[in-house]
Amino acid sequence: MKIADLARSTLLPWPEEVSPDEVRQATSRLVSYVSGRVDADGAIREECESRVLESALALSLMTRTGAQSPARNRLLTFLRGHQEFPNRLDRVLASLSVGRETAGDAELVGRLTAGVLGSAPGFISARRRMMVYAVLSVLGCPLPADAELPGGGEVPTDPLHSWAAVQEASITLILATATGVSNKATEAALDTLLATDPATTVWEGYVLMHLLVLHALASVPGHEETVRRGLETLLRHQRADGGFPFVLELHNWCTATGGLALCAAGAEPELLRRMAGMLTAHQGGAPLRSLSRGATLTGGWSISPVVAQNDVDDTSCALEFLQAIDPVAHGAAMRRGLDALLAAQGADGGFPTYVAGASSEPCMTAAAVCALAPHPFTAPARERALAFLADSQLADGGFEPGWSRSRLHTLFRARLAASTAGPDDLRTAAMTERIERTVRETQNADGGWGMQPGDPSDDISTAYGLIALCYGDDPQPVGRALSWLLTQQKADGSFGGPPDMVGPRPFSYHFPLLTDIPVLLALGHVRSRVLDPSAAPQEVR
């Protein structure tokens, strides 16, 4: 989204709290760091770090199949090292997997389930509850009394994207085995799982789903060889620390978001053109079998070239980036992406993450509005989407949880979406005022923001808050945020702190560069929206 033309007269004066030169130097160091992670073909290929959830499931699978290898010893070392971690969920999963927790502690299961559901959107709560039960079941916990098959045991027909469909099928078989149920739903679930070809591939690069599929099949007689071969396939992706990641790659997402941030911060045009070329080369998703129940975003983008399931988020970011680099040269690709995006819009005006007909989400809707904004023919769709956003805003100014642990994530994207509204859109103006108020009121005394109000400041949330306030009218909180953020920069130009991305919601996962990219994007918005007394205004696209 091109934002340089947005009320040039409303540029913020430079805040007294921080030196313009210091910000320019920090931005330059971070541009160099992120640029150095772009491969020759324009892709950013960051590696997902190991996570306790997948590692615990992997150890459980090795135990139930009797697998013994050096890989198991490395995995045990990884999990034992997480038994005293601050994150309670990680501690419990690690301890359950190596046998230190009491598997029958009903209170423990209840607390974990309540914590997971409290951090997830309401519309996925029933499915997420059953997933928690399935995970705990394969780790040795008895099922709670309210455990039931997804969909009440009926063959499902509701709109669902591929990943959720395979997750649902896995949970169905795991819970069916634990409760002694066999019916048409379990037969359909088995067919879905076998369609992922778990013996030879980690389907869609989704390690968590591969593990759930193998655990489900391990309970079905006649599939022992598939499980054995599937475990061998999994072990090829064990990380150096002994653990296993959530997914294998997010190349499209890292490239699109990294490209947007680099463009905003003034990176080299040739580098940006290579990144745009990489994205156009991988439009449409991988040529793999999709297991979605519902219309997918044909012509959009997926998280990575190995993934067939396209989504609104990747499509929106890719479209924004291509628009910023060369809308003429990439016109055909952009039109296909725009058509895919518009086809996903719901009757309520909002956008889902994956398939048409699924629940609309505020964060995805804000992303879509920003991607559609440069294109006049999308005005009716944008007006409906902004109305959905305004209707979705909570009393405290925030929104329902999205794909980030940070409350600021949807807030900053909604604020950018609101910037595209016309001057007579009073509902969007009221939403904007509430966004800015809650962002200002939740800023910590040190100048940063935490994932949730009252949490310690972290780099990602502070970047999100900084972007939102670049569109306000007060430079002072912007200066405080910049001052805090610059103290966090490392010697190599990068940033750190806890990860915010979640999948499946609300389980967090970590690609280290996805901390640097939001910070770089924030510095790019400062470059455009805050008047540097020694430099001409720049454009952020």
pTM as predicted: 0.92
Task: Mean pLDDT check: name the lowest of 42-51, 291-300, 357-366.
Answer: 291-300
Q: Which CATH number is correct for 8-47+249-531, 1.10.3720.10, 3.30.470.10, 3.40.50.880, 1.50.10.20?
A: 1.50.10.20
- DSSP letters spanning 412-445: HHHHHHHTTS-TT-HHHHHHHHHHHHHHHHT--T
pLDDT digit string (tens) for 315-333?
Answer: 999 999 999 999 999 999 9
More confident residue, 407 or 118: 407
Specify the amino acid at residue 155. V
Q: What is the pLDDT of residue 401?
A: 86
- Could you give the CA distance from residue 117 to residue 293 in angstroms, rounded to a whole number? 24
Q: CB neighbours of 133 closer than 8 A, spacing ≥ 6?
A: 109, 113, 143, 144, 147, 171, 175
Q: What is the pLDDT of residue 118?
A: 59
pLDDT digit string (tens) for 266-287?
Answer: 999 999 999 999 999 999 876 6
Arithmetic mean of pLDDT, 233-246: 97
> Is the predicted pLDDT of residue 123 greater than 70, yes or no?
no
Task: Mean pLDDT check: name the lowest of 79-88, 227-236, 351-360, 399-408.
Answer: 79-88
Q: What is the pLDDT of residue 10?
A: 81
* Among 90, 313, 459, 516, the one annotated catalytic: 313
Q: What is the pLDDT of residue 285?
A: 72
The whole-chain average pLDDT of the chain stands at: 90
Q: What is the pLDDT of residue 440?
A: 98
Q: Which residue has 């990680």 as its token pair?
A: 90
> Is the predicted pLDDT of residue 42 greater than 50, yes or no?
yes
pLDDT digit string (tens) for 451-492?
Answer: 999 999 999 999 999 999 999 999 999 999 999 999 999 999
> Which segments within 303-445 are labelled E, that is strand?
310-311
Strands 530-531 and 12-13: parallel
Look at the alpha carbons of 116, 516, 50, 355 in this order and tell me if their dihedral is positive or negative.
positive
pLDDT digit string (tens) for 347-365?
Answer: 999 999 998 988 999 999 9
Question: Annotated catalytic, 313?
Answer: yes
Return the number of other C-beta atoms located less than 10 Å from residue 28's C-beta.
14
> Is the predicted pLDDT of residue 143 greater than 70, yes or no?
yes
- Could you give the CA distance from residue 483 to residue 478 in angstroms, rounded to a whole number? 9
pLDDT digit string (tens) for 159-187?
Answer: 678 888 899 999 999 999 988 888 888 99
Q: What is the pLDDT of residue 129?
A: 80
Strands 244-245 and 530-531: unpaired
Q: Which of 182, 320, 338 is nearest to 259 (CA)?
A: 320
Q: CB neighbours of 83 closer than 8 A, spacing ≥ 6?
A: 91, 94, 95, 98, 100
∠ CA(532), CA(538), CA(541), 5° rounding?
135
Strands 50-51 and 12-13: unpaired
The HSE-up count of residue 391 (CA atoms within 13 Å, CB side) is 12
End-to-end distance of the chain based on CA atoms, in angstroms?
5
Q: What is the pLDDT of residue 348?
A: 98
What whole-number percentage of the chain has pLDDT above 70? 89
- Could you give the CA distance from residue 8 to residue 490 in angstroms, rounded to a whole number? 33
Radius of gyration of the chain (CA): 23
What whole-number percentage of the chain has pLDDT above 90? 73
* 3-class DSSP assignment, residue 163: helix
Tell me the C-alpha to C-alpha distance, in Å, between residue 371 and each of 164, 262, 321, 495, 529.
Answer: 25, 17, 9, 27, 19
Arithmetic mean of pLDDT, 132-161: 75
CATH 1.50.10.20 domain position(s) in the chain: 8-47+249-531
Q: What is the pLDDT of residue 506?
A: 75
